[in-house]
Chains A and B, each alone.
Chain A
């Protein structure tokens, strides 16, 4: 808790310094708007920014959810045999190493702008979930593995009572990475896809504001993206702490 207080104090001090600097140096708002103006804009333009925030959050969370299901599911399947793992891994690696910005235009042509957003958020978040799951399932303590063998555990018992619990810390680490990446995927795809209408997200509003040199709104949208990131970071962190409450090392790390 004490650390949290320090972090909040630092953020408040930085914002206050920013505000003071803009006022004292009389920086024009089209160069750098003051935090107070950004906040006012956020409130006044909420009819535009609110739906954009909701749209980006929805794409990010949906992409993340798909990545969790897909990454854990395919990780489980791939871990059942080396052959399957070898078959899946090149595809996963190619998807991972090709920059998303380069794939997005193709996706837009094939599946349309709207679907591209979800697929983009999914694609970047999928890989850490897959590797986390696979690494975790392979990280079983060999002595515990022997113990299960001595007591004649069948494949199902091994999976649920040994492999899944062993893999959880790795999967949670994957989730924390995937959460941040899903947001990046959603934002990058919005930049490329540039969806308009109801589903325009925060990134689209940023591009729009930059064309109009509407700096206060650009900053307001940016602040919302940062907030989305912080929310996802906090949620995945909380999930990880709850799920891993029994794991000694993680508990020690959280303290």
Chain B
């Protein structure tokens, strides 16, 4: 079990100026696992992703990464916005991580083209980002995160701005792709239903300074189908998570009042 751990956060803390954002965050992630982080706004979810990606360093505690994560391109990142280069075609955007790894441009573009086809964007390879809809842009961002075949993809509320139909469709497509590759996923969201649907495990974070308040293991790992969203057990699980999230919010209010 231990050698399959992809990532381990041990009592990680982070402050910005005098404000403590995260305190004693500890959790581990297994290879191939899908973990969602959910919690009140400003509880440091994004900061956790940034520290795992190496964009920020923890002030206290340690982040232990499996050696599989240490090479260039082993961690993919999908931001809140699609974050595409406005001057480059969809294909060039998807090819970017490979080119930054030093792959010849032609080869990188071939891979990018194939990846776009997998995400049903084959016809839009040459399109500029402003010619794509919000959902299509997010698909391009997803293709870019998958292109290096990473061991872990960090996603920061990627589908928050999309309509529900598009979000559901993208959730299903993404699940299919990451399951097929055994890619681990760390997913930050504000939507309890989305967290429950996607995840093997959901971690509820407290109000700032954030720490893990509760963890829920989802009973339907690897068997998500669209119908699951309307099953009774799904409603029960989301109710449990919502209750914990409610306590996390109240906690913050109490701290605020004191």
User: Which of A's residues lie within 8 Å of B, judged by CB?
Assistant: 141, 143-144, 146-153, 157, 161-162, 165, 168, 246-249
Is B72 an interface position by the 8 A CB rule?
yes
Interface string of B52-76 (1 = CB under 8 A from A): 0111000000000000000011011
- Partner of B73 from the list A143, A149, A152 (CB cut-off 8 Å) is A152
19 other contacts beyond A143-B79, A157-B100, A168-B87, with CB at 8 A cut-off?
Answer: A147-B77, A148-B100, A149-B55, A150-B53, A150-B55, A151-B96, A151-B97, A151-B100, A152-B72, A152-B101, A153-B100, A157-B99, A161-B100, A162-B85, A246-B87, A247-B86, A248-B128, A248-B131, A249-B86
Interface residues of B in 11-48 (CB under 8 A from A): none
A246 & B100 in contact (Cβ 8 Å cutoff): no
Residue among A148, A150, A246, A247 with max Cβ neighbours from chain B (10 Å): A150
Q: How many residues of B contact A (CB 8 A)?
A: 26
Bound CA–CA A150/B53 (angstroms):
6
Bound CA–CA A153/B87 (angstroms):
18
Sampled A-B contacts (17; CB under 8 Å): A141-B83, A143-B79, A143-B81, A144-B85, A146-B53, A149-B55, A150-B53, A150-B75, A150-B77, A151-B97, A151-B148, A152-B73, A152-B101, A153-B100, A246-B88, A248-B128, A248-B130
A151 & B72 in contact (Cβ 8 Å cutoff): yes
Majority secondary structure, A binding face: helix
Residue of A nearest to B53 (CB): A150
Residue of B nearest to A148 (CB): B100
Distance (whole angstroms) from the CB of A142 to the closest CB of chain B: 10
Q: 10 closest A-B pairs (Cβ-Cβ)?
A: A248-B130, A152-B72, A143-B83, A151-B100, A246-B87, A151-B97, A165-B87, A150-B77, A153-B100, A150-B53
Bound CA–CA A249/B86 (angstroms):
9
Is B129 an interface position by the 8 A CB rule?
yes
B55 & A161 in contact (Cβ 8 Å cutoff): no
Contacts of A153 in B (CB 8 A): 100
Contacts of B87 in A (CB 8 A): 165, 168, 246-247
Residue of B nearest to A164 (CB): B87
Interface string of B129-164 (1 = CB under 8 A from A): 111000000000000000010000000000000000
Contacts of B129 in A (CB 8 A): 248
Residue of B nearest to A158 (CB): B100
Bound CA–CA A143/B55 (angstroms):
11
Contacts of B54 in A (CB 8 A): 149-150
Distance (whole angstroms) from the CB of B220 to the closest CB of chain A: 31
Bound CA–CA A161/B130 (angstroms):
19
Contacts of B128 in A (CB 8 A): 246, 248
Bound CA–CA A168/B87 (angstroms):
10
Bound CA–CA A152/B73 (angstroms):
8
B77 & A146 in contact (Cβ 8 Å cutoff): yes
Bound CA–CA A162/B85 (angstroms):
8
Bound CA–CA A151/B131 (angstroms):
26
Residue of A nearest to B82 (CB): A143
Bound CA–CA A144/B96 (angstroms):
11
A161 & B96 in contact (Cβ 8 Å cutoff): yes
B85 & A152 in contact (Cβ 8 Å cutoff): no
Residue of B nearest to A146 (CB): B55
Distance (whole angstroms) from the CB of B89 to the closest CB of chain A: 8
Bound CA–CA A34/B76 (angstroms):
71
Distance (whole angstroms) from the CB of B148 to the closest CB of chain A: 8
Bound CA–CA A153/B73 (angstroms):
10
Distance (whole angstroms) from the CB of A83 to the closest CB of chain B: 25
